[in-house]
Every structure is written in C-alpha cells, then in structure tokens.
Amino acid sequence: GEDVEQSLFLSVREGDSSVINCTYTDSSSTYLYWYKQEPGAGLQLLTYIFSNMDMKQDQRLTVLLNKKDKHLSLRIADTQTGDSAIYFCAESYNTDKLIFGTGTRLQVFP
Amino acid sequence: DADVTQTPRNRITKTGKRIMLECSQTKGHDRMYWYRQDPGLGLRLIYYSFDVKDINKGEISDGYSVSRQAQAKFSLSLESAIPNQTALYFCATSGTSGRPSSYNEQFFGPGTRLTVL
C-alpha cells in the first residue's frame, strides 16, 4: 500500500532554519502538500508543490521535491516560536484521497 | 464563523456505547472525509463521501459507519465503542469546482477528542 514517512520530532533554536523531510511511495502523485497542525486545532494547508516542479518558495518556506528519490522537504527560514506545531506531508492518491505522513513535531526553543 | 464545525469537541464514553460525531460545513464543498489521528500514526482515513449518494470506505472503516444527511452534513458513528477507538477525530472537506481534478486541498474541522473507557 501507499506509505508516507516522516521523522517524528525536530527541535531547533529560534532564528535557525528548520528542515522537515518526507518520503513517499506513489510516483504518480501529481501534487504533494504540507499541512500544519497547531495545538488544539485541525490541519491547515501550508503549501503545496506540483509534481513537475523541483522547488517552490513562498516567503520563509521552501519546498524541495526529488522525484527520483521520492523525497519531499520543507525548509522554514528564521524559525520562530509560532512555528512550533506538527507538520504533515501528504500525497494525492488516485486524485480522490490524500495519504498523510506520520507528522513531525517541530519544537522551537529560545 | 468556522467553515467546518464538529460536535462535540470532547466526549468521554464507556465501552459498548453508541456514539455519533457530527460535522457541518458552510464551504459548499461536495467532498467530505472522516479521519482519526493517533500519536505516531498520523491521519488515517475512515470514510469519505463525494456527494449525498456516495459513501466510500477508507483504510480503517471497521467498527465505524457514516451518514451523509445533506451536502453540508456528514456524521460518523461508532456502533459499539471500544477503548482502541480512543483518538482525535477530524472531519475535512474539499471542493472540485474551479480546480484541476488532481488538486485535492482539504479543509479541516477543529477535531473531536474521543475517549472510550
């Protein structure tokens, strides 16, 4: 079956860059997504990348896609305490469903 | 007001009880989903519906049932709750109009924390 994997935890100092990694299995995925879940809330779409792109930049966020290795990463520049959350990558499966990763809990310390 | 609402937000119940979780949306979306979130396992799809007459099983549908009462309402039932159904449950919606068919941004409710004793 389809599987999306992430490391469970990441801890960074405020002002540093954070890099959250994800590996996926469905090479036919046309879109890949990053969602953010803040404490006590549902998930919100942070950014996405179309599969024919290698990189997408959106303010402090940079998404890198390596289709050959099926590897997706999210870089957050100048990480702030407000970035502390759980980050999920997701791939489109058969265009009907999303397959979510296990989530990476990002902790930002002063 | 929130576009996707879930009730109740918290529920504690006992083994064997029937429980219904409700989801309503004002986004006008045709597609609705139910997920459960468990620590270290991410989100897993329970059921999804593409319109009022369409219901599909997800990867973990055993022990659950759903009803799509209207385009805006999608409820999840646990017929006889058991402790390993203790989890955080999320409803989500997505729309298909004005988007590429392969784009599937989903909008989530705030979640229902369910504890089965």
Q: Which residues of A touch B59 (CB under 8 A)?
A: 1
Between the CA atoms of B46, B51, B54 and B58, what dihedral angle is there, to the nearest 10 degrees? -20
Q: Per residue in A20-30, pLDDT tens?
A: 999 998 777 78
Between the CA atoms of B84, B88, B93 and B99, what dihedral angle is there, to the nearest 10 degrees? -100
CA of A17, closest CA in chain B: separation in Å? 24
B71, amino acid identity:
Q
Find out whether B95 and B29 touch, Cβ atoms under 8 Å: yes
- Helix, coil or strand: residue B83: helix
Q: Which residues of A touch B41 (CB under 8 A)?
A: 102
Q: Give every CB contact of residue B94 below 8 A, 6+ residues apart in sequence.
A: B29, B31, B33, B104, B105, B106, B107
Q: Per residue in B25-81, pLDDT tens?
A: 999 999 999 999 998 888 999 999 999 999 999 999 999 999 999 999 999 999 999
Task: Please tell me the predicted confidence (pLDDT) of residue A3.
Answer: 81
CA–CA gap between residue A32 and residue A90 (Å, rounded):
6
Q: Per residue in A25-77, pLDDT tens?
A: 877 778 899 999 998 899 999 999 998 889 999 999 999 999 999 999 999 99
Q: Per residue in B69-104, pLDDT tens?
A: 999 999 999 999 999 999 999 999 998 777 776 778
CA of A46, closest CA in chain B: separation in Å? 10
Q: HSE (CB half, 13 Å, CA atoms) of B77?
A: 9
Measured in Å, how far apart are chain A's first and last C-alpha atoms?
41
Cβ of A40 and B101 within 8 Å? no
Task: Please tell me the predicted confidence (pLDDT) of residue A66.
Answer: 93
Best A96, A99, A104 residue to mutate vs chain B (most B CBs within 10 Å): A96
Cβ of B41 and A30 within 8 Å? no
Q: Which residues of A touch B92 (CB under 8 A)?
A: 42-43
Cβ of A92 and B104 within 8 Å? yes
Distance of CA B40 to the CA centre of its chain: 19
CA–CA gap between residue B74 and residue A62 (Å, rounded):
35
